[in-house]
């Protein structure tokens, strides 16, 4: 056990990528110990990705890339400006609302930071905001990407913990709302302290237009429900509502109705049993292609090819991490390291609330040094037995783990969002880190609330009849 963990830490210190460090440490341990045949490493790596839910990974990544090239980000930004740009600290609020909408399509924090974040930081700087404030609010709002469904970390966690990915998606909605409210309150505090006004003049017509778009999106599932009550079959009702929606959008050319529909289609389809989370990822790609090729006609062969190759590169990176982490986690289990850690934790406390506090600290620290996907793959086999033994709902724990790891993305030395935004804003890593620090306050408040009020996470899956599925 000591050789395995020690080698991994040494390779990390030497600056090797986390996946290479885990794979190298695992192979070296197998060669030195001689306890298992060398071929087992390859077998476990293959077994690590032999999972149907993992098929969702490349499709969600592709959907996010396609949304970026389909002209969606600009439309989301304009919609958010119309909705909240008139508030004090307007573009700060726009930043958050834009991330909420984008989260319903991308599923990753890095896509939000690199895509929508580029537009938002430039706009905030042009309107006289300090670069540090623009970077801070962009970093904080980027954490919404994997909390509001769809979510790549939820897919990996669901596979590792053997829990419903659809339930995890539903469970992320209310925590996402809590995070959004806390971040908007933080912007309001800064605006009041610095006497900031709105960034666009208040206009009833513009605000009404944005509000109308929200109502149209909300009316889509409501109209299906009403038609179903009237005796229309769900499939026919959905078809009628969808045709009406397309006709309205083509007639009035709304800014963000089609973008706002993405999470409605995904969550609604899974809730009604029309498709699995993996099939939902395919539906997200089809929707993005429809918007880019048919509705907005903003995709070209060149941009489509670039999005495809970017997806291949990102998917290969993610799955390499999963395969390496699978071997590493398996060796931790076979060498009894995981059981030793479990016994050590349970010897300290068997109170679930104390354990959750300890787990938060552990996951936060791990998230500062290890990639999100690798951290989930390593930590779930270690912590899940304790979670189940103490009677903690694994869906609830999945939200806790994901939010902790999202906070880790904002920290050096491995915080990918930190480095992306430092490059986008052309700030040093040190200045970017200092800009992000105040925004940890709303994130930690949300983390505490989500940890110790499980109903925030579990109410919606239970109400929709998906708890435990």
| Mean pLDDT taken over the chain | 87
Lowest mean pLDDT among 42-56, 161-175, 215-229, 378-392: 42-56
Per the CB < 8 A criterion, the answer to whether 86 and 95 are in contact is: no
Please report the pLDDT score of residue 469 as a whole number: 53
Handedness of CA 284, 288, 294, 299 (dihedral sign): negative
| CB-count burial class (<10 Å; 0-12, 13-18, 19+) for 165 | buried
Condensed to tens digits (0 to 9), the pLDDT of residues 275-310 reads: 887 888 888 899 889 988 888 888 888 889 998 998
User: Where do we find the tokens 């003049």?
Assistant: 201
Condensed to tens digits (0 to 9), the pLDDT of residues 120-177 reads: 888 888 888 898 999 999 999 989 988 988 888 998 899 889 898 889 999 999 999 9
Task: Give the pair of three-digit tokens for residue 98.
Answer: 């834009």
Phi/psi-derived region of residue 150, left when phi > 0, alpha when psi is between -120 and 50, beta in every other case: beta
b/e per residue, 296-310, with b = 16+ CB within 10 A? eeebeeebbeebeeb
Condensed to tens digits (0 to 9), the pLDDT of residues 171-189 reads: 999 999 999 999 999 999 9
Please report the pLDDT score of residue 468 as a whole number: 54
Whether the pLDDT of residue 1 is over 70: the answer is: no
Task: Give the pair of three-digit tokens for residue 301.
Answer: 């062969």
Q: What percentage of residues in the chain have a pLDDT greater than 90?
A: 30
Report the alpha-carbon distance of residue 243 to residue 5 in Å, rounded: 57
Whether the pLDDT of residue 367 is over 80: the answer is: yes
Report the alpha-carbon distance of residue 218 to residue 272 in Å, rounded: 16
Whether the pLDDT of residue 213 is over 60: the answer is: yes
- The pLDDT-based confidence of 467 (bands split at 50, 70, 90) is low
For residue 410, cis peptide bond before it (omega within 30 degrees of 0): no
Nearest of 234, 303, 257 to residue 82 by alpha carbon:
257
Q: What percentage of residues in the chain have a pLDDT greater than 70?
A: 99
3-class SS shares of the chain: helix, strand, coil, % to 5: 80, 0, 20
* E strand spans, 231-386: none
- The pLDDT-based confidence of 318 (bands split at 50, 70, 90) is confident
Task: Give the pair of three-digit tokens for residue 424.
Answer: 């986008």
Helical residues (DSSP H) of 127-276, grouped into ranges:
131-142, 152-161, 165-171, 173-194, 204-229, 234-252, 257-271
For residue 150, cis peptide bond before it (omega within 30 degrees of 0): yes
Report the alpha-carbon distance of residue 26 to residue 332 in Å, rounded: 10
């Amino acid at each position: 056990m000591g050789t395995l963990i020690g080698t991994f830490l040494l390779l990390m210190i030497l600056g090797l990528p986390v996946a290479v460090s885990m794979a190298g440490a695992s192979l070296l341990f197998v060669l030195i110990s001689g306890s298992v045949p060398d071929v087992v490493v390859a077998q476990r790596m293959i077994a690590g990705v032999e999972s149907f839910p993992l098929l969702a990974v490349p499709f969600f990544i592709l959907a996010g890339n396609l949304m970026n090239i389909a002209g969606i980000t600009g439309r989301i930004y304009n919609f958010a400006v119309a909705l909240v740009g008139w508030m004090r600290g307007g573009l700060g609020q726009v930043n958050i609302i834009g991330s909420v909408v984008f989260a319903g399509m991308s599923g990753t924090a890095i896509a939000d930071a690199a895509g929508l974040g580029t537009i938002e930081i430039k706009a905030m700087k042009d309107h006289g905001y300090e670069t540090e404030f623009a970077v801070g609010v962009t970093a904080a709002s980027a954490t919404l990407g994997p909390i509001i469904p769809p979510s790549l970390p939820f897919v990996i966690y669901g596979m590792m913990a053997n829990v419903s990915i659809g339930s995890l998606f539903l469970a992320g909605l209310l925590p996402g709302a809590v995070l959004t409210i806390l971040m908007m309150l933080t912007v309001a505090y800064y605006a009041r302290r610095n006497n900031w006004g709105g960034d666009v003049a208040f206009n009833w017509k513009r605000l009404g237009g944005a509000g109308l778009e929200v109502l149209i999106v909300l009316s889509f599932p409501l109209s299906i429900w009403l038609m179903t009550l009237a005796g229309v079959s769900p499939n026919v009702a959905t078809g009628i509502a969808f045709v009406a929606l397309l006709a309205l959008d083509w007639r009035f050319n709304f800014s963000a109705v089609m973008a706002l529909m993405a999470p409605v289609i995904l969550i609604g389809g899974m809730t009604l049993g029309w498709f699995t989370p993996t099939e939902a990822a395919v539906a997200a790609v089809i929707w993005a292609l429809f918007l880019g090729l048919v509705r907005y006609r903003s995709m070209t062969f060149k941009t489509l090819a670039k999005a495809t190759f970017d997806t291949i590169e990102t998917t290969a990176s993610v799955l390499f991490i999963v395969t390496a982490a699978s071997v590493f986690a398996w060796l931790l289990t076979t060498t009894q390291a995981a059981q030793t850690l479990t016994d050590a934790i349970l010897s300290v406390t068997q109170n679930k609330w104390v354990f959750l506090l300890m787990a938060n600290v552990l996951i936060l620290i791990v998230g500062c040094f290890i990639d999100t996907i690798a951290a989930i793959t390593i930590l779930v086999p270690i912590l899940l037995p304790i979670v189940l033994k103490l009677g903690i709902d694994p869906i609830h724990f999945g939200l806790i783990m994901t939010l902790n790891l999202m906070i880790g993305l904002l920290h050096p030395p491995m915080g990918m969002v930190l480095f992306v935004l430092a490059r986008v804003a052309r700030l040093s890593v040190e200045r970017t880190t200092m800009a992000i620090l105040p925004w940890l306050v709303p994130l930690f408040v949300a983390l505490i609330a989500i940890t110790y009020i499980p109903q925030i996470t579990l109410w919606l899956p239970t109400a929709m009849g998906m708890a435990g599925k």
